[in-house]
Chains A and B, each alone.
Chain A
């Protein structure tokens, strides 16, 4: 784990650097609060910080306040901050913690106590990592179709509304394709629902491959797919470019080893044109 050490005093910085390296941390040491904030504010900056209280340019509590402000604004990863100080009064401790620090340690520090407090920080960061992961998974599930992993109906309809509004505002052209997979029921009845699901997943995958990075594809209904193609040239789109691209992608047979999920050219072309 990477840790930032900020201390204007060279001796203390060296002592911390070496102690933490020996404890297995990757240490980044800086000599003032401004540099500390710059490092912590990087998207891939350290998430564990040991800050001296009194430093030139920006003191430890100042760095804490700045980091917390940025986190609120940008939804950045949490930074666990330990203030290192020779101040011991209750008022100072309260001030330090209220500035956004998670913990404090008095100088001269005890090595075992320092390591124990940093392990507490690691536990908090680990927990935060798991919460963020869970939140992202929930976010994905709320916006994507569970079977095909493309946008779900709510999102694709919302995206369609936005794109149409933008298109109107900019006098542009947005193409909307609603495709229906014919005879899916027959696939389900003949080969079973698992095979039918594979067909839908394969179609979704191919549709994704056939569109540009700024187009959208979503599952509109059971066997219906909605494509929203932005910034299109109306003339070439009418000549069949857009529909052709999407349907041709689905017309190719499946891999030989997955022949059982072969899709029908005829049905797909019919559906997408």
Chain B
């Protein structure tokens, strides 16, 4: 089993943890999951472009935002990958950025469908 597959198999969305963070406010959690679903693909695309252009300032900004979002949604592994990317961009370690970005992409692969499942559970 390759690493990407093992990551996609792991359950990254911790619903009880998320519910406790919003004081069991399911309406708010649905709202947050919707925002995540809207914002995440857009930010990921922007990050992808910035990595291709080696735009370190943009990489730093976007990975910082992604890190915050992932932390708020209780997805710590992906948040750590975003944090590494942010740090490398700040340090202008251009050679390490593509590898860190690939690791980040792997961490977030299949995340949106998981969010969708989570939304279904929350609205039940």
Contact = CB atoms under 8 A, between A and B. Distances in A.
Interface of A: 8-12, 14-15, 18-19, 22, 52, 54, 56, 86, 107-108, 111
B35 interface: yes
A2 to B, nearest CB: 21
Nearest to A84: B68
A108 B39 contact: no
Interface residues of B, number: 21
Given A19-B22, A56-B61, 8 more contacts: A8-B65, A9-B69, A11-B32, A12-B68, A14-B35, A18-B22, A18-B28, A107-B68
B65 A107 contact: no
A109 B76 CA distance: 14
B74 A10 contact: no
Contacts, number: 51
Interface string B6-28: 00000000000000011101001
Main secondary structure of the interface of B (DSSP, over half): helix
B71 A11 contact: no
Contact of A9 (B22, B28, B31, B65): B65
Contacts of A108: 21, 71-72, 74
B21 A11 contact: no
B31 A14 contact: yes
A107 B21 contact: no
A120 to B, nearest CB: 21
Contacts of B39: 10-11
Contacts of A52: 68
B35 A11 contact: yes
Contact of B72 (A8, A11, A22): A11
Contacts of A18: 22, 25, 28, 31
Nearest to A8: B65
Nearest to A16: B72
A18 B23 CA distance: 11
A9 B32 contact: no
Nearest to B20: A111
B48 interface: no
B87 to A, nearest CB: 11
A19 B27 CA distance: 12
